[in-house]
Structure 1
Amino acid sequence: MLRKLLFWSFAVVFPLPLILTYEFVATEPDLLKFYVFLGLIAYTWWLLSIVLSVRPAWLHRFVGLPAIYGLHGALGVLAIAAVYVHSDNSYSPSHLARILGDWGFYGALAVLCYSMFFMSGWFVDRSRLLLKVKGLLETVLRRQLSVWIHRLNLVIVAMIWLHAHLLVRVNQYFAFMMLFDLYTVTALGIYVWKKWIAPDTYLMGTVTSNETRGGATRRVSVGLDSKAATLRPGDFFFLSFEGSSSASREWHPFSVTDDNQKTLAFTIRQHGDFTRRLDNVEVGTRVRLEGPFGRFESIIQGRHREAPLVLVGMGAGVAPLLSLAAAHHTTRKIHLLWAVRSPEDAYYRDVIEEYQAASGNRMQATISVGRFRREDLANTLSAEAVAKGAFFIVGPNPAVLANQRLLRRIGVSARRIHQERLTM
């Protein structure tokens, strides 16, 4: 909690050098300065959002990707609010500056609305109607379009940067403009380095197998050129498939299914426009891997060794949970609950049985055809697990939220529930 508080407080500190510099050099009335401050806060928050979008590995290990994405989204919303007040109470004699400011605002608003509906899950995961509407629209709007729409933030930053340079009330102060440009160049430089230069330093591997599992799932194995030394149980990578035979060169997150650091196995449900084309990924296809990411193992290491681990997976969401089971089935009490659509989708039953047999009665598993209901959880979980266990839930967003609610209703504390949603 302290780490997340420090992380979120950085958003408050980040604009301060610009604000204090302008306060020191500017001679405008205080009210006008206030509206300029709002514009500066919004601009720096957009820059910070761009930096967060590259998923800094060190920051991920500090607070986790969910916290990074949470602040990324919150900054977008708060920046729009600040810009609205700024633009509604400011005036510039430069016609071009006004146009650029307005275009930047409406462009940012459009990107925010699109992201909140298609990418965040803030609304659609809590409404079946909106989820159906999203599914219908996604048959027309492919994920590649979402990626490029998100990159419009760079165009918006460029427009706001030029907008500021055209304003006499700010461009007359050399020291302030130097700091303003330093903010911009640093943020965009980090983005360019991470997106177009750093991939050459990522792990590389080759697809060694691509097999069907169940009705609509594939197991893709990638042999690495070098060992993934920092991989921990429960982690996931962002993958980019190279070559003309691949489904897409865009980055997509997938969880590792076991604890092998040399050959990584990914269990992927074919649901979206990208994953449906995974059949096209041939053995021998080269793969870039960004990561690993994940917080499950660090959470487990912070729990008492006798506290039970309850792993709740829906469909392909069992993948990272199996890697946790592989690492801990001989040393910790584990109860794995796996909900599948049909009996043929229980494609890891034999692996689970192997872990159980080797666990010395420490591990048990419950496989359900269909989602777990409240009475299922209440009857299946032991009193010790409900009172002391650490719960890890992985699956589609709506299913994760539903299971969180069910666990809370049977008495599981919210602070002991940890989740990973199969949407990024």
Structure 2
Amino acid sequence: MLRKLLFWSVAFMFPLPLVLTYDALAREPEQLRFYITLGFTAYAWWLLAILLSVRPPWLERLVGLPSIYGLHGMLGIFAIVLAYVHRDNSYSGSRLAILLGDWSFYAAVGVFCFSVFFLSGWLVDRVRLLLTAKRLLERVFRHQLSVWVHRLNLVIVAMIWLHAHLLVRVNQYFAFMMLLDLYTVAVLSIYAWKKWIAPDTYLTATVVSNEARGASTRRLSMDLDHPSVGIRPGDFFFLRFEGTPAVRREWHPFSVTDDDQKTLSFTIRQHGDFTGSLTGVAPGTRVRLEGPFGRFESIVRKQDANAPLVFLGMGAGVAPLLSLAAAHHTTREIHVLWAVRDQQDAYYRDVLARYQESSGGRMRVTTQVGRFRRGDLTDLLPAAAVSNGAFFIVGPNPAVLANQRLLRRIGVSSRRIHQERLTM
């Protein structure tokens, strides 16, 4: 909790040098200075949002990607609010500066609305009608288009930067403008390095097998060119397949199914235009891997050694839980709950049975067709697990949210529920 509070405090600290520098130099009336300060605070928050979008692995290990994405989204909202107040209460003699300010504001509102609907689960995962509408619209607004629309934030930043340089009330303060330019150049340089240069330094691998698992799931295995000692149970990577015409060169997150640090396996449900094309990935295909990411293993290690671990997976969501079970089934009390669409989708039943057999009675496995209901969880989970256990949920966003609600209703504390959603 302390780490997350410190992390969110970055939103306050990041624009502070700009605020203090401008306040020390500016000679405008106090009210006008206030509205100008709101403008470049919004700009600093847009820059910080871009910085967070590169997913620094060290930061992810500290607070997790959900927290990073959460602050990224909230910065977008707060920046638009501040920009609106700044726009309605400031004035300039430069016609071009006014136009750039207006264009950047309307573009930011458009990107925000698009992102909330297509790149975030804030609304669509909680309102079934919106989720249905999103799935229909995704046939036109595919993932790659969504990513490029999101990158319009770079154009917005460029317009705001030029807008600031055209304002006499701002550009007359040399020290402030130098600091503003330093912020801009530093953030955009980090973004450019991470997106276009750093991939050459990522882990690389070769696909060795691509097998069907059930009606709509595939298991891809790949040999890393060099073993990675940084991989931990429950981790996931962003993968990009190289030189395969059937699959676009996009980055997508997938969880590791086992705890091998040389040959990685990924269990992927084919849902959507990208995952649907994974059938065309042949052995020998080269892959780049960004990561690893994930905090499940560090959370497990912080739990009391006698506290039960409850792994609740929906469909392909069992993948990271399998790797955790592989690592801990001989030393921890574990109960795996796996919900599948039908019996043929229980493709890891034998693997789980093997873990259970070698666990010395520490591990229990329950596989069920259809989602677990409140009555199921009440009957299956002993009182010790409900009162003291650590719960790990993985699956599609709506299913994860539904199971979180069920667990809270039967008495599981929110702080003991940890989740990973398959659609970030």
TM-score (norm 1): 0.99
Q: Is the 8 A contact 1:245 1:282 kept in 2?
A: no
Deviations 1:117-175 (A, max 9, x none): 11110001001111100000001111000010011000000000000000010011111
RMSD: 0.6
Q: CA offsets, 1:311-341, max 9 Å, x none?
A: 0000000000000000000000000000000
Q: 1:415 and 1:25 mapped to 2: Cα distance?
A: 46
Report the equivalent of 1:237: 237
Does the aligned pair in 2 maintain the 1:309–1:335 contact within 8 Å? yes
**Contact 1:246/1:285 (<8 A) preserved:** no
Determine the structure 2 residue equivalent to 1:391.
391
What is the match of residue 72 of structure 1? Answer: 72
Aligned to 1:40: 40
Deviation (angstroms), 1:273: 1.2
Separation in 2 of the partners of 1:10 and 1:51? Answer: 12
CA distance in 2, matches of 1:24, 1:61: 38
- What is the identity, as a one-letter code, of the residue corresponding to 1:116? V
Q: Which residue of structure 1 lines up, in the alignment, with residue 188 of structure 2?
A: 188
TM-superposed deviation, 1:347: 0.2
Q: Which residue of 1 aligns with 2:311?
A: 311
Partner of 2:325: 325
Moved over 4 A (4+): none
Aligned-residue sequence identity (percent) comes to 72
Give the deviation of 1:246 after TM superposition: 4.6
Instruction: Give me the whole-angstrom Cα distance separating, in 2, the residues matched to 1:281 and 1:102.
Output: 46
2:244/2:285 contact within 8 Å kept = no
- Measured after TM superposition, the shift of residue 356 of structure 1 is 0.3
Find the counterpart in structure 2 of residue 52 from structure 1: 52
Residue 166 of structure 2 corresponds to: 166
2:216 counterpart residue number: 216
- 1:15 Cα deviation after fit: 0.4
Give the secondary structure class of the aligned counterpart of 1:244.
coil
CA contact (8 A) 1:241 1:286 kept: yes
Task: Name the SS for the 1:120 alignment partner.
Answer: coil
Gaps of 5+ in 2: none
Shift of 1:283: 0.9
Residue equivalent to 1:207:
207
Tell me the equivalent position of 1:21. 21
Residue correspondences, number: 424
Is structure 2 residue 367 aligned with structure 1 residue 355?
no
Q: Which amino acid aligns with 1:331?
A: T
User: Shift of the alpha carbon at 1:61?
Assistant: 1.2
Question: Shift in Å at residue 248 of structure 1?
Answer: 1.7
Q: Is the Cα contact below 8 Å between 1:245 and 1:285 reproduced in 2? A: no
Query: What letter is aligned with 2:81?
Result: A
Cα separation, partners in 2 of 1:423 and 1:114, compared to 1, 3 Å: same
Secondary structure of 2:125 counterpart: helix
Write the distance in 2 (CA, Å) between the matches of 1:385 and 1:93.
67
Which stretches in structure 1 are left out of the alignment for 5+ residues? none
Q: Tell me by how many angstroms 1:244 deviates.
A: 3.3
Q: TM-score, normalised by structure 2?
A: 0.99
For the 8 Å contact 1:245–1:281, the answer to whether it is kept is no
Question: Aligned ranges for residues 21-420 of structure 1 at < 5 Å?
Answer: 21-420=21-420
What letter corresponds to residue 98 of structure 1 in structure 2? I
